Structure formats: structure tokens, C-alpha cells
Amino acid sequence: MYFTLKILLLFINCSLLVTVHTRSFEAQSKIVGGYEATPYSHPYLVSLQTRFLWVRVHNCGGAILNERWVLSAAHCAVESWLTRWLPLDVVAGIHDIDKFGNQAQIIRINERLPHPLYEGGIGPYDVAVFSTVSPFRFTKYVQPVNLPINYKANGGPMKLAGWGVLKTTVFIPALPSKLQEVKVTYIPYEECYQAIEKLKEDYEENPLDRNANICTGPITGGVAACSGDSGGPLIQFVRNDILDPNDPVEDNTERYDASNYNCTNDNEATESATTEATKRQDRQTVDEYIPVVVGIVSWGVSPCGEKGAPTIYTNVSTYLDFINYNVKDLF
């Protein structure tokens, strides 16, 4: 009974999410070309889960802003009756969504505030904030993310993480239980616009918005977000002493390990033999960088990971006024 009910919720949720969009463009929900993340390496990342009776199902990703607020996509709040009317919980401090562990924090969502100008489907203003009935307890497993104050996404390295669908079948989507992540590359607006022009049908308008969206690739194919990890944060690592759009961002994502963030990736590389002095020097350099949420997974081209197809995000820096208006004292 439990399994049947959970599968039913998954099927209804995924099908409604797709049908509101055009044939070529869909809201996002899986990471294509990713790998399992180091456990608890993204302590700002949460799972927004629809709850019905005793069953809880992952619906969208999100990022912790402070003790009582989460940042996500507007379509995660209003796009289907499941997300609009059923109770919603935020689950923080987890790696495996099937086995939470003692460090997990499950808190009921109190208020869902999509941008008032969001019209549904694909378009601008795809941003929302969610308040919780009780505060998060910040630990090494649960931490807030940084907003891009006086900062715009650039060509520096970026990471995307989530629990989205790994593979779709006729009826039941294949979901990972453990957090997946992938490194993605920034695509300038003009290049992204032209990429979508080549993929869309002649009768379709190009929905990309210069101010509302940012894009990632590579568009060589095989690496993308996809329908289901909507609302998850696109992270860029930035020097913690300054948030300056002209400041170069070095590739420190693989070794980032500042105080409460542990983004060391042991999946692709083995530890090299270095002296203790070199390790200390490396740590000092790495600790200067902090995770900044520059984008929110919004939409993309179907099928996911197709050659020439970028992933599209809500540009967080464009909507800082909306965030600050609803979530006081963030900056």
C-alpha cells in the first residue's frame, strides 16, 4: 500500500509538471551526466516534499536562506494541485532521501510566496520563497547559502546538485536515493539564445529572457538538469572577502572545505602525497571561497542532455529585491 501510494503521487506529480509546457521546453527535474555527491557536501540544499497521509515524496529542490526561509522556483509552488494544495515539508541535512539519519531536519512549510508577476509555465519571475513553521538548527549538515550581493554569474566554475530523475520510463520515473551533482559551464546570453533558436520549432517563440535567465552547458550534450530538480540552486564559488562581478573565480569547487561546508570530491580523484605545509597552504586558499546561489533551476529543452541544448535558470541577482522584500534582514 505504501509503495503503491508513493508511486501514484510520483506519477501524478511528474505528469502534471510536464503537460503545462510546450512540446520542446519543460520544467526541470533530473541531473544528466552527474555522479554521487560527497555526503553532506551541500548543506544549504533541501528537498521540498509533498506529504499525503504518512507518505512524503520529493517534489523540488531549494536552498536555505536563513533560519526560516527557503529559496526555490515559483513553479514549485503553484504549477500543480499537488504542490498548491497538499501539505509541503522541507527536509534539510540529508544525503539519502530514503534514509534520512539523525542529522536530518523535517519542518513543515508555513507559507509559499511565488513572485506576484509569475504567470505559470515557462517565463520570467520563476522564483519563490517558502517560510517554515519552526526554525532550522544550523549544524555542519544544515547551513544557509549566500546570495549574489553585488555579484553576477560569470565564466567561473559552477555546480548543480539534486535528487532528480535519473531515467524516465513509460510509467515510473527512476529516482536516485542519494544526492547527485555535476559541474556545469556558464553560457553567455547570445550564445544561449542562438542555441535555443536552433532547437525550437518555427512557430514557437524563444522564451529566453536576458534579465530573467542565465544558462549553463556544456551544449556538447550529456550534461544537464532535467524535469524534476526544479528549484534547486546553481552554485558558483566566490571569494568570501568580496562579491565583485569583476573578481576572477578560480576552480576551487573540487576542494572547497570551509568551516561548515564540505565539498571535497573523492569520487573522481585520489589524494596525492603532499607535505603538511602544502596541505595547510591549500586549505587557506580554499577557505577564501564560499558558495553563492546564482541561479534557480527553471526550464530546459526536451529531451534532456540533448546535444546543443542548454539548461536555463532563474537569475537570482535580478530578483534580490523580491527576496529581500519577503525575507527581512538578509542584506
- The whole-chain average pLDDT of the chain stands at 78
Q: Among 84, 82, 62, 64, which Cα is nearest to 73's?
A: 62
Lowest mean pLDDT among 24-33, 61-70, 87-96, 114-123: 24-33
- The average pLDDT across 237-241 equals 84
Q: Which residues contact 163 (CB under 8 A, 6 or more apart)?
A: 47, 58, 61, 97, 175, 176, 177, 178, 179, 180, 229
Residue among 21, 75, 95, 115 flagged as catalytic: 75
**Could you read off the pLDDT of 79-112 as tens digits, one per residue?**
776 667 789 999 999 999 889 999 999 999 999 9
Inside any domain, residue 194 = yes
pLDDT at 268 over 90: no
Inside any domain, residue 93 = yes
pLDDT at 228 over 80: no
What is the model's pTM?
0.80
Q: How many residues does the chain have?
A: 331
Is 241 or 12 the better-scoring residue by pLDDT? 241
> Do the bridges between strand 158-162 and strand 25-27 make them parallel or antiparallel, or are there none, so unpaired?
unpaired
Residue 112: all three cell numbers together: 509559499
Do residues 28 and 298 lie in contact, with contact meaning Cβ atoms separated by under 8 Å?
A: yes
Inside any domain, residue 331 = no
Inside any domain, residue 22 = yes
CATH number of the domain bearing residue 250: 2.40.10.10
Do residues 164 and 28 lie in contact, with contact meaning Cβ atoms separated by under 8 Å?
A: yes
Residue-level pLDDT at 32:
57
Does the active-site annotation cover 298? no
Per the structure, the count of domains in the chain is 1
Q: What is residue 224's DSSP assignment?
A: E
Residue among 47, 230, 302, 317 flagged as catalytic: 230
For 6, half-sphere exposure in the C-beta direction (CA atoms, 13 angstrom radius) is: 12
**Could you read off the pLDDT of 152-201 as tens digits, one per residue?**
888 888 999 998 765 544 556 566 789 999 899 999 999 999 999 998 88
Does the active-site annotation cover 126? yes
Residue among 126, 227, 229, 302 flagged as catalytic: 126
Do residues 261 and 43 lie in contact, with contact meaning Cβ atoms separated by under 8 Å?
A: yes
- The average pLDDT across 268-273 equals 37
Residue-level pLDDT at 275:
40
**Could you read off the pLDDT of 162-176 as tens digits, one per residue?**
987 655 445 565 667
Does the active-site annotation cover 98? no
Residue 206: all three cell numbers together: 524563444
Domain extent for 16: 2-326
Residue-level pLDDT at 325:
96
Confidence of residue 314 (pLDDT cuts 50, 70, 90): very high
Residue-level pLDDT at 19:
27
Using CA atoms of 326, 328, 330, 331 in order, give the dihedral in degrees to the nearest 10. Answer: 100
Residue-level pLDDT at 158:
93
**Could you read off the pLDDT of 106-142 as tens digits, one per residue?**
999 999 999 999 999 999 999 999 999 999 999 999 9
Is 145 or 3 the better-scoring residue by pLDDT? 145
CA distance 87 to 109: 8
Inside any domain, residue 16 = yes
- Max avg pLDDT among 16-20, 204-208, 215-219: 204-208
Confidence of residue 288 (pLDDT cuts 50, 70, 90): confident
